[in-house]
Amino acid sequence: MKKNDSPRRHLATATAATAGLALALLVSGCGSAPAPTHFHTLMPPASASAARGHAGEVIDWQLMPVKIPAQVDQPQWVVRAADGSLVVLEQERWIAPLADEIHAAVVERLTQTLGPPKTSEAANSWLVRIDIRRFDLVAGGQATLTADWSATRDGSAINCHATVVSQPTSSSYTALASAHREGVAELADAIGAVLKRSGKGQTFACP
């Protein structure tokens, strides 16, 4: 009998060990659930866009694709630490490619100032180009946007440089995204102001 029972005892022991390991893995998995991913946007809330609306002269314009630095051309946030190093935050992401986010936010803002953009290049339309040089997110600090932008039409051209520094209302990532949203809106307002002056026949001048 002892000889026959031995395999059974070994099987029972192995089964118990396997069950124990499975339970341990299950408990371990529950205790180390991945952190949630937070998605951010540079687009303003719909209510804010509706509140501004467009009133006044319509200017023909079109925004070309926005250029951004390769370092920040990814869904994950790239944040500058206190020592100047760059840290990629996997759980903080833009809802769309950053260049598209900036483009959409600027178009939204300019539409409120100048009217809707042209869907195709027209002879009398301003072609606006934006080249983002820096798009800094500083952990616990400020949001800095540096850009070169230009507007051309019928042989006329203006080339400007802008730096916008926005201070978040708190140290949260949501506040940091909001600060960059304000910075992009300020850049768009500067572009809109120049194009509006052109419609009134005034001299071009960078803000």
Tens digits of residue pLDDT in 106-121: 999 999 999 999 877 6
Tens digits of residue pLDDT in 78-132: 998 888 899 999 999 999 999 999 999 999 999 999 999 987 766 688 999 999 9
Higher pLDDT, 190 or 207: 190
pLDDT band at 150 (very low <50, low <70, confident <90, very high): very high
Q: Is the per-residue pLDDT at 162 higher than 90? A: yes
CA dist 68 and 207 (Å) reads 22
∠ CA 31-34-38 to the nearest 5 degrees?
140
Fold adopted by 38-199: Rossmann fold (3.40.50)
Phi, psi angle pair for 197, to nearest 5°: -65, -35
DSSP, collapsed to helix, strand or coil, labels residue 21 as helix
Higher pLDDT, 155 or 55: 155
CA dist 134 and 183 (Å) reads 12
pLDDT for 189: 97
DSSP 72: G
pLDDT for 78: 93
Q: Are 107 and 179 within 8 A, CB to CB?
A: no
Q: Which residues contact 107 (CB under 8 A, 6 or more apart)?
A: 63, 117
pLDDT band at 198 (very low <50, low <70, confident <90, very high): confident
Phi, psi angle pair for 116, to nearest 5°: -65, 150
Q: Is the per-residue pLDDT at 175 higher than 90? A: yes
Using a pLDDT cut of 90, give the percent of the chain over it: 57
In the chain, where are the structural domains located? 1-33, 38-199
pLDDT for 21: 46
Q: Is the per-residue pLDDT at 202 higher than 90? A: no
Tens digits of residue pLDDT in 10-65: 444 444 444 444 444 444 445 567 889 999 999 998 865 555 555 567 789 999 99
Q: Are 99 and 70 within 8 A, CB to CB?
A: no
